[in-house]
Amino acid sequence: MTDLILRNPDLPEPQGMYDPAFEHDSCGVNFVVDLKGRPSHDIVVTGFAALCNLQHRGALGAEVTTGDGAGMLIQVPDRFLREVVDFELPPAGDYVTGIAFLPREAAAAAEAREQVEKIADTEGFVVLGWREVPTDPSMLGRGARSTMPSFWQPFFAMSGVGGDRLERRAYMLRKRIELEVTFETDDVSDERAMGGRARKLSSAYFPSLSTRTFVYKGMLTTPQLTEFYPDLADERVESALAVVHSRFSTNTFPSWPLAHPFRYIAHNGEINTVQGNKNWMRAREALVASDLLDGDLDRIFPTCTPGASDTASFDQVLELLCMGGYSLPEAVLMMIPEPWENHESMPDDLRAFYRYHASLMEPWDGPASIAFTDGRVIG
């Protein structure tokens, strides 16, 4: 249980009938896309409007200014970033960026950034610079504010490496950072239970770290998203797609890292088989191999972060499959197959597809609506 608390400092320790290992959520999810792939700020604006229309699907705390979570995934806004950073960026697709949730204390955040840079160096990356992401927490309730991290945007590049290969190297880097970069934070669960203050060990968390996609999310209500992240209201922030989500953490607690979207998906529903799915993934990690992923894969395991929700775990496995060479549509259908065994009118080739993949992975089963994207396609 120690490992679980390390990864999710916002969540209480097991008590009564509650155990953070069984985090589920039931939410609102939507996406908008330009079918010709033309980036514009209109897509971001329309995505936010869609998000606000999902407010009834999200949950609020006892104080209405603390939400269970809201967020938006867009393409990396290259033109905007070039105009707001004070260092030179390589061509689009040849650098990696994202948002890091780091400790609020300035000294601890600086130490965490130093740890990140050391790991990036060992993975062959050059650190181009950092940007402190502008935020306005003035509208947040006490619950959201008390667990709020600081928000830092790193920029990495790798000499002679770009495109899909750089995306895969960024995946390896992020997994290592989240497993290895730790710092002390306030123990919020202790404060909830005992009315006091304590310290606990926490991990760095990246909503995204990619050449293609960028995630703004947090323990917010839907209307708070663009107020909290002023970037999203800037007309220079453009994208050809936007995935949005409003979280209802059914029978569980909200958390900044557990807001959606994740790196590939946003999800409404519950994956009822998640504990078995995670156990199977842990068991098969000794057999995982890919010519597309460099170095010893043990440095990025476990695939499913201890204490992560059902959606977060699904997203982590989907990401591994895509990084290992599966196309996004194939990986999604492998994980969530339609009922095929007794489907009398299913075409033979589709039945054969499902039968083959059933030998590779058990289904992640449960009532679910999932929007998925890798920044290039969306479904």
Alpha carbons within 13 angstroms on the beta-carbon side of residue 60 total 13
| Cβ-based neighbours of 54, under 8 Å, separated by 6 or more | 27, 28, 29, 30, 222, 244, 245, 246
pLDDT grade for 192, boundaries at 50, 70 and 90: very low
pLDDT grade for 367, boundaries at 50, 70 and 90: confident
SS3 content of the chain, % helix, strand, coil (to 5): 40, 20, 40
Can 304 be counted among the known catalytic residues? no
pLDDT grade for 1, boundaries at 50, 70 and 90: very low
Q: According to the model, what pLDDT value does residue 250 have?
A: 65
Choice between 252 and 361, residue whose per-residue pLDDT is larger: 361
Greatest CA span in the chain, whole angstroms? Answer: 63
Please give the structure tokens belonging to residue 173: 């880097």
Given a cut of 50, is residue 239 above it in pLDDT?
Answer: yes
Listed range (41-50, 229-238, 276-285, 306-315) with the worst mean pLDDT: 306-315
Helix/strand/coil for 242: strand
Report whether 267 contacts 260 (CB < 8 A).
yes
Across 356-370, average pLDDT: 93
pLDDT digits (tens, 9 = 90+) for 139-157: 999 999 999 999 999 999 9
Q: According to the model, what pLDDT value does residue 263 have?
A: 97
- How many CB atoms are located within 10 Å of the residue 43 CB? 22
Choice between 57 and 151, residue whose per-residue pLDDT is larger: 151
Q: According to the model, what pLDDT value does residue 31 have?
A: 97
Burial of 345 (0-12, 13-18, 19+ CB in 10 A): exposed
The reported pTM is: 0.89
Phi, psi torsion values for 107, nearest 5 degrees: -65, -40
pLDDT digits (tens, 9 = 90+) for 94-124: 999 999 999 999 999 999 999 999 999 999 9
| Whole-number percent of the chain with pLDDT over 70 | 89
Given a cut of 80, is residue 317 above it in pLDDT?
Answer: yes
Mean pLDDT of the chain: 90
Given a cut of 60, is residue 262 above it in pLDDT?
Answer: yes
- Measured CA to CA, the distance from residue 61 to residue 141 in angstroms comes to 9
Report whether 236 contacts 229 (CB < 8 A).
no
Given a cut of 50, is residue 4 above it in pLDDT?
Answer: no
Choice between 314 and 191, residue whose per-residue pLDDT is larger: 314
pLDDT grade for 172, boundaries at 50, 70 and 90: very high
Helix/strand/coil for 367: coil
pLDDT digits (tens, 9 = 90+) for 336-352: 999 999 999 999 999 99
pLDDT grade for 301, boundaries at 50, 70 and 90: very high
Choice between 205 and 9, residue whose per-residue pLDDT is larger: 205
Q: According to the model, what pLDDT value does residue 2 have?
A: 41
Report whether 219 contacts 247 (CB < 8 A).
no
Please give the structure tokens belonging to residue 76: 């990396």
Phi and psi based region of residue 366 (left: phi greater than 0; alpha: psi -120 to 50; beta: remaining): left
